[in-house]
């Protein structure tokens, strides 16, 4: 039986289990960042991109456990945005939630474009905007159901793609070690066959970090879903550990197999959005049926990530509405605990994407990905800064998770993220992300001043009326 989580305006229902929370995070993070973005990263760094993915996993791990430490103590509506309000000030809480909401809407757009592109594998004559709209309607309809139904559907989608990645890695291992009839085993010589392991130099490994971090974006969804978990503390601990382990194994394993079976320059030459490196690898291996199946799985992956991102975007907008930083209607929920208005407004990103796709075609995917990466980096930096302030509060509620390493680890994480943002200017696919950062913050600052000029200070965002006190839920 669902429990209600009172949060002032309406009520989010506690209906998610630990496995559903982990798969929700996996649903967002294991998306087109791996299946399409990997090609862009390989084209810049070659086989050395494996180091990039390992470094990206460490940064994602740092952010995930920083979130876990704070949210396990304060499983409130608005998650890290509400906590930032308390420890960094009202503007920080306002800005991080809107930045994250925009990044999610952009992410939704990139995933739905990717899904439409994958459909062209079978039906190239279908117009992209039409496919975008069809997927948009389906995913929006799913998100306005109850959270339990949503969680079940997302679990199924995430399980399908996770199982497929495991199968992909297993089949790749067969090609590497044993080979197939009329195709000898490749071994791992392709890692060094064309210019060595670092053919573009060691600096290229860091240059692609912006693309790699985009691949890991989505670990935050576990924390966002905590207010709708049946047991927030225990569920959050288990979900985070499971999520990070799976993502690290999936990304490193899949990219390592891809680079071993197919020479990296071939992957780099075909890293555009018209075909995934995964599909190309199987086609090169002479397994056309597997290529078609893989394309279907990648389509499911895009739909799953789109679904999870819309869920998170709606919850962010719902918390802003509840704290009077967006129209009040966005802070309400239905009798089934669904923030329907927030879902519908967030889904407007689909319409914008359909329009952009009609104008620019498949090129819009790279534009959306580059815009989304700024939001991810900015949000992760604010999360780590908030953790430092959170730890200075001697009266903070007890946490059931902790990021080890004292102040050094979050400080190193902040430095790494700032470095990634700075080097993104040298990567064509990410250059736009560097150009929108400061103007975006300026627009948010102006909007904040206009919005709160005649309103009470939104410092209560951490504890909306009727919400549980920090730590009570645990």
Specify the pLDDT at position 474: 33
- The verdict on residue 137 lying in a domain is yes
- The verdict on residue 470 lying in a domain is no
Specify the pLDDT at position 470: 36
Specify the pLDDT at position 417: 93
Provide the CATH number for the domain around residue 131.
1.20.1740.10
Number of domains in the chain: 1
How far, rounded to the nearest angstrom, does the alpha carbon of residue 138 sit from its chain's CA centroid? 20
In DSSP notation, 279-298 reads HHHHHHTT-HHHHHHHHHHH
CA separation for the pair 261, 459 (Å, rounded): 54
Specify the pLDDT at position 304: 82
**Average confidence (pLDDT) per 10 residues, the chain, 474 residues:** 39 57 64 68 89 91 89 81 90 88 80 79 82 86 76 78 82 86 85 90 87 79 69 67 77 89 81 59 68 78 82 87 86 83 86 71 64 82 95 88 90 93 72 72 82 56 39 35
Contact 164, 294 (CB under 8 A): yes
Contacts 24+ apart (CB under 8 A), 197-204: 197/46, 197/47, 197/48, 198/45, 198/46, 198/47, 198/48, 199/46, 199/47, 199/48, 199/264, 200/44, 200/45, 200/46, 200/48, 202/48, 204/44, 204/45, 204/46, 204/48
Q: Which residues contact 298 (CB under 8 A, 6 or more apart)?
A: 32, 35, 118, 276, 278, 279
**How much is the CA Rg of the chain, to the nearest whole Å?**
21
- The verdict on residue 473 lying in a domain is no
- Provide, for the chain, the percentages of residues in helix, strand and coil under a 3-state DSSP scheme, each rounded to the nearest 5: 75, 5, 25
- The verdict on residue 97 lying in a domain is yes
CA separation, residue 5 to residues 2, 97, 312, 424, 456 (Å): 9, 21, 17, 41, 25
- The verdict on residue 420 lying in a domain is yes
- The verdict on residue 468 lying in a domain is no
CA separation for the pair 423, 7 (Å, rounded): 41
Domain span at residue 370 reads 19-462
Contact 20, 155 (CB under 8 A): yes
- The verdict on residue 279 lying in a domain is yes
Where does 175-276 show beta strands of DSSP type E?
Answer: none
CA separation for the pair 334, 207 (Å, rounded): 45
- The verdict on residue 104 lying in a domain is yes
How many residues belong to the chain? 474
């Amino acid at each position: 039986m669902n429990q209600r989580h009172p949060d002032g305006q309406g009520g989010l229902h506690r209906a998610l289990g630990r496995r559903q929370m982990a798969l929700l995070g996996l649903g967002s993070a294991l998306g087109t960042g791996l299946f399409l973005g990997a090609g862009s990263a390989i084209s810049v760094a070659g086989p050395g991109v494996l180091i990039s993915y390992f470094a990206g996993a460490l940064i994602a791990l740092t952010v995930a456990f920083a979130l876990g430490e704070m949210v396990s103590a304060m499983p409130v509506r608005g998650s890290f945005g509400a906590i930032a309000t308390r420890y960094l000030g009202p503007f920080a809480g306002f800005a991080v939630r809107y930045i994250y909401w925009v990044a999610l809407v952009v992410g939704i757009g990139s995933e739905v474009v990717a899904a439409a592109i994958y459909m062209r594998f079978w039906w190239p004559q279908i117009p992209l905007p039409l496919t975008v709209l069809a997927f948009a309607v389906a995913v929006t309809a799913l998100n306005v159901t109850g959270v339990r139904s949503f969680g079940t559907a997302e679990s199924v989608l995430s399980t399908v793609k996770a199982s497929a990645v495991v199968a992909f890695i297993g089949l790749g291992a067969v090609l590497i070690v044993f080979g197939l009839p009329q195709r000898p085993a490749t071994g791992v010589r392709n890692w060094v066959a064309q210019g060595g392991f670092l053919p573009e130099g060691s600096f290229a490994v860091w240059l692609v970090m912006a693309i790699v971090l985009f691949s890991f974006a989505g670990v935050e969804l576990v924390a966002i879903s905590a207010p709708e978990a049946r047991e927030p503390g225990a569920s959050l601990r288990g979900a985070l550990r499971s999520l990070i382990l799976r993502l690290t194994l999936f990304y490193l394993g899949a990219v390592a197999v891809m680079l071993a079976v197919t020479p990296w320059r071939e992957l780099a030459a075909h890293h555009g959005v018209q075909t995934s490196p995964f599909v190309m690898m199987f086609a090169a291996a002479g397994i056309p049926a597997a290529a078609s199946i893989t394309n279907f799985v990648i389509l499911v992956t895009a739909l799953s990530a789109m679904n999870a991102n819309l869920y998170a975007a709606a919850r962010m907008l719902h918390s802003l509405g509840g704290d009077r930083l967006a129209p009040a209607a966005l802070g309400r929920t239905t009798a089934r605990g669904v923030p329907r208005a927030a879902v519908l407004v967030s889904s407007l990103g689909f319409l914008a994407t359909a329009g952009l796709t009609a104008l620019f075609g498949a090129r819009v995917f790279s534009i959306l990905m580059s815009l989304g990466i700024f939001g991810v980096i900015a949000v992760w930096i604010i999360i780590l800064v908030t953790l430092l302030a959170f730890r200075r509060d001697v009266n903070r509620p007890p946490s059931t998770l902790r990021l080890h390493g004292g102040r050094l680890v979050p400080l190193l994480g902040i430095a790494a993220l700032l470095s990634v943002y700075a080097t993104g200017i040298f990567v064509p696919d990410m250059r736009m992300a560097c150009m929108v950062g400061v103007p975006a913050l300026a627009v948010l600052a102006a909007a904040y001043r206009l919005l709160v000029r005649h309103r009470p200070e939104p410092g209560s965002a951490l504890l909306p009326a009727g919400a549980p006190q920090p730590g009570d839920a645990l």
